[in-house]
Amino acid sequence: MGSYLPLVIVLAAGGVGTVVLVLFGGAILTWVREGQVWNSVFRHGIPRDRRTRAMAVLSNVFLHLHPVAVRKSGIRLSFTWCMGGLTFFLFLAEVVTGVLLMFYYRPVVEYAYVDIQNMRAKVISMGLMREIHRWGAHAMVISIWLHMLRVFLTGSYKPPREFNWTVGVILLVLTLLLSFTGYLLPWDQLAMWAITVGSNMARATPLLGHEGPLASFLKIDGVPLVHAGSDARFGLLAGTFVGPNALLRFYVLHCVFFPVIVSVLIAVHFWRIRKDGGISGPL
Amino acid sequence: METLLLAESTAESLKGVINALCEPAPFFIISCIALIVFLVGYRTFTRPAVALTIGAAFTLFYIISAFDPNFAAIIKKPDNVPITIMMFSVGFCTWVAFRQAAINDERMERGEPLIEAGSDDKVLVWPDLVYTELIALTLCTAVLIVWAILLRAPLEQPADPSVAPNPAKAPWYFLGLQELLVYFDPWIAGVLLPGLIIVGLIALPYIDRNPRGNGYYTFKERPFVISTFMFGWVILWVVLIVFGTFLRGPNWNFFGPYEFWDLHRLAALLNVNVADIFWVRWMGRGLPDDWMLRELPGVFLMGGYFFILPVLLAFTVLRKIYRQVGLIRYAIAVMLLLWMALVPIKMLARWTLDMHYFLAVTEYFFNI
């Protein structure tokens, strides 16, 4: 019996809590919402009528990305597929899990792989965070493609939304780059060789890659300017192969550089939706 | 017992047929034909009953295929799971979009209002939109957690620069581009074409001057732009990703979906350049030493393709578009379209004529 005691206590407490919530939940909520603390945070009453509902959106820094009212047909699920929103949610999930992962991960060749192994073996919740982070990244790549497909097929890139489409295309590229730079961090065979294959393209860049067209013309007194130790691939990997410098570089790009740019562009993207007339619809 | 053996041999021969159909040329051509048939008959194919039948048949085929050990080994690879998800979600979303396009197009023909009509009907963001978002957020989180519990993300052996895997593959979303490496030099497949995809997407709203189809699903009002986009997106992106992931094995050789990835399979490399065909086969002599003379046929071919064809198109097939968008927009659009078309052209030339390069200035890394 003794070993069941905690379970009994938890179940009893849960039961009592549920009963209290069912019986007095509404009253408690009303009491909280009428108090000074609630009203200092939310400067409006309970959103029950038109005015307070409008205030709920207007007076909230996050919600005010939305207009107060939207076209009914524009928010149908069959019209938007919620794909842009899902991409944003997935980005948030990536930020949250990514920050947690950074506590347990060192971008050094000696530790990177072991850190991920340890994370899985010793900190169960972090193992789960790692899986969520990886699958979330794949899901984000798919959802942003489908978002683009939806925007294209509804003709929503047409005037006046041309510029926001451009911002969206850049966000799409940045999403792929975020996923690509993150791919290296586990520092396993899959990571190293995928990045080797991917970054090999850079050495074929015209003018800037040592195996690219026209690069051989760039020389001073017969000494080539663009060689394996100075070309675009070298700039990407901070070396001539995927090694310790590349790991550090990709880590910084993945955790700081790209997320900051993406965050700024997401803000621009959302703001422009409103400025360009909200969710698109027949003119 | 005998019926069992018979069933097994039938299954084996069926697998052989499917393996053969999945070879590069048939796979690509069948995909193209499927897309064209779908776009022509979009009103029929998007009817719920028809679409459901097609979807169910494909799902059934996929599930039965998973019983094959070689196919199962590919699709069960953790990082390939997103590709299965992508295939089904792209199929579903394409259906949702074209179904509404079909309904809208029929309504417009009858003079009825669109699905999206009633632009004055407004609802408050709180609660109508905020609650939808909350539900989407919750579902999204739940799906992610369940996915993460059911399927562990891949963690292979520690990185070792001295042990290269075969095949070495880029992340799955770049595998379409890696597939292009078979047909083009790295600077085209890995730098120029991705660059043109980005530039082309950004340029799209400035090139497409058709004012109709803004803010609602339709196909009839913008068939050219939608067909081009769907060709680029479904065939040149999604199909090539599926191709690069599922059908490319060791040494980047082709393997059917039910074939064992044999490390020692040999593939003959018999590719020839346009210069070889012209000078050796047709003129019956050796290649000229001077590269300028040697590549004259290639220069004519590519020069004609990129500089004379646009002019001819402007007076014939694309006449309407040229009039609509003007010289500068037409020049940009036609260049993007020609580069896009060069991809399937080169692929087909490779498969049918063993074409290596149309234009091969190997001396300066300039080969197309």
In three state form, how does the secondary structure of A24-60 look? HHHHHHHHHHHCHHHHHHCCCCCCCCHHHHHHHHHCC
Q: How are the residues of chain A apportioned to helix, strand and coil, as percentages rounded to the nearest 5?
A: 70, 5, 25
Q: Residue A8: its pLDDT value, please?
A: 86
Is A111 touching B (CB cutoff 8 A)?
no
Tell me, yes or no, if B141 comes closer than 8 A to chain A by beta carbon.
Answer: yes
Whether A65 has its CB under 8 Å from any CB of chain B: the answer is no
Q: Which amino acid, B145?
A: I
Query: What is the 3-class SS of B3-16, one letter each residue?
Result: HHHHHHHHHHHHHH
Residues B225, A146: Cα–Cα separation, whole Å = 17
For residue A70, give the H/E element and its range: strand A69-71
Whether A213 sits inside 8 A of B151 (CB atoms) is: no
State the pLDDT confidence band at A263, using cuts at 50, 70 and 90.
very high
Q: Report whether B233 contacts B316 (CB < 8 A).
A: no
- At residue B321, the pLDDT reads 87
**Other CB atoms within 10 Å distance of the CB of residue B312:** 11
In this complex, do A131 and B94 lie within 8 Å of one another by their Cβ atoms? no
Residue type, A208: L
**A110 chain-B contacts, CB cut-off 8 A:** none
Q: Which residue has the tokens 């524009």?
A: A74
Residue of A nearest to B217 (CA): A154
ipTM of predicted assembly, 2 dp: 0.94
- Give the per-residue pLDDT at B1: 63
Q: Which residues from chain B sit within 8 angstroms of residue A75, using beta carbons? A: 123, 128-129, 132
Assess if residue A248 is contained within a domain: yes
Please state the domain count of chain A: 1
- C-alpha–C-alpha distance, residues B12 and B23, integer Å: 17
Instruction: Residue window 229-288, chain B: list those with CB within 8 Å of chain A.
Output: 229, 233
Q: Is A12 on the interface with B (CB under 8 A)?
A: no
Which site among A48, A119, A129, A134 would you substitute to test the B interface, given the most B Cβ atoms closer than 10 Å to its Cβ?
A134
> Cβ distance A154 to A80 under 8 Å?
no
Task: Using a CB–CB cutoff of 8 Å, tell me whether B48 touches chain A.
Answer: no
In a domain, A197, yes or no: yes
Check if A158 contacts B (Cβ < 8 Å). yes
Tell me whether residues B133 and A198 touch, CB distance under 8 A. Answer: no
Average pLDDT over residues A165-181: 97
Q: Chains A, B: CB contacts under 8 A, how many?
A: 283
pLDDT digits (tens, 9 = 90+) for A23-71: 998 898 888 888 899 889 888 878 888 898 998 888 888 888 888 888 8
Among chain B residues, the shortest Cα distance to A125 is held by B149
pLDDT tens digits for range A192-223: 999 998 888 888 888 888 888 888 788 888 88
Residue of B97, B164, B210 lying closest to A150 (CB–CB): B97
Strand partners, A224: A219
Q: Strand (E) positions, A97-229?
A: 219-220, 223-224
Best of A65, A92, A118, A158 to mutate (most B CBs within 10 Å, chain B): A158
Residue B312 Cα, gap to closest chain A Cα (Å) = 28
CB atoms within 10 A of CB B79: 18
- Give the distance from residue A1's alpha carbon to the nearest chain B alpha carbon, in angstroms: 32
pLDDT confidence of residue B119 = 63
Give the pLDDT of residue A130.
93
B112 touching A (Cβ < 8 Å) = no
A53/B165 CB distance under 8 A: no
Pairing mode of beta strands B122-124, B360-361: unpaired
pLDDT score of A213? 83
Nearest neighbour of A162 by CB, restricted to B157, B159, B206: B206
Secondary structure of chain B in the HEC alphabet?
CHHHHHHHHHHHHHHHHHHHHCCHHHHHHHHHHHHHHHHHCHHHHCCHHHHHHHHHHHHHHHHHHCCCHHHHHHHCCHHHHHHHHHHHHHHHHHHHHHHHHHHHHHHHHCCCCCCCCCCCCEEEHHHHHHHHHHHHHHHHHHHHHHHHHHCCCCCCCECCCCCCCCCCCCCHHHHHHHHHCCCCCHHHHHHHHHHHHHHHHHHHHHHCCCCCCCCCCCCCCCHHHHHHHHHHHHHHHHHHHHHHHHCECHHHCECCCCCCCCCCCCCCCCCECHHHHHHHHHCCCCCCCCHHHHCHHHHHHHHHHHHHHHHHHHHCCCHHHHHHHCHHHHHHHHHHHHHHHHHHHHHHHHHHHCECCCCEEHHHCEEC
Residue A50 within a domain: no
A155–B89: do the CB atoms touch at under 8 Å? no
Mean pLDDT, residues A179-188 taken together: 96
Residue B127 is which amino acid? Answer: P
CB contact under 8 A, B185 and A204: yes
| Largest Cα span, chain A | 90
Task: Report yes or no on A9 lying in a domain.
Answer: no
Show residues of chain B in contact with A63, CB under 8 Å. 125-126, 130
**What residues contact residue A86 under an 8 Å CB cut-off, 6+ apart?**
A143, A147, B136, B140
Q: Which residues of chain B have pLDDT under 70?
A: 1, 119
Residue with tokens 């600077």: B187
A 229-268 near B (Cβ less than 8 A):
241-243
Does residue A35 lie within any of the structural domains? no
Which residues does residue B122 pair with via DSSP β-bridges, in sequence order?
Answer: A71
Domain annotation covers residue A30:
no
A261 lies in some domain: yes
> What does the DSSP 8-state code read for residue A217?
G
Q: At A89, which amino acid appears?
A: F
Q: Which CATH number goes with the domain that contains A215?
A: 1.20.810.10
Tell me, yes or no, if B363 comes closer than 8 A to chain A by beta carbon: no
User: Identity (one letter) of the amino acid at B149?
Assistant: I
For residue A62, report the phi and psi dihedrals to the nearest 5 degrees: -80, -45
pLDDT in tens, A105-153: 999 999 999 999 998 888 778 889 999 999 999 999 999 999 999 999 9
Is A124 an interface residue toward B (CB < 8 Å)?
Answer: no
Please answer yes or no on whether B213 and A162 come within 8 Å at the CB atom.
Answer: no
Q: Which of B96, B126, B187 sits opposite A81 (nearest CB)?
A: B96
Instruction: Give which of B82, B98, B96, B84 is closest to B35, Cα–Cα.
Output: B98
Burial code (b: 16+ CB inside 10 Å, e: under 16) for B174-205 equals: bbbbbbbbbbbbbbbbbbbbbebbeebbbbbb
Mean pLDDT, all residues of chain B = 91
**Which residues of chain B are within 8 Å of residue A241 when distances are taken between CB atoms?**
161
Minimal Cβ distance to B158: which of A113, A149, A243: A113
- Which candidate in A64, A82, A193, A254 is best for mutational testing of the B interface (most B CBs within 10 A)? A193
- How far is it, in rounded angstroms, from Cα A39 to Cα A17? 26
Bridge partner list, A223: A220
Q: Is residue A27 part of a domain?
A: no
For B109-146, b/e burial (b = at least 16 CB within 10 A) is: eeeeebbbeeeeebebbbeebbebbeebbeebbeebee
Domain range for A203: 73-275
Closest CA to B300 of B278, B317, B316: B278
Contact B198 A173 (CB under 8 A): yes
Which residues of chain B neighbour A81 with C-beta distances below 8 Å?
93, 96
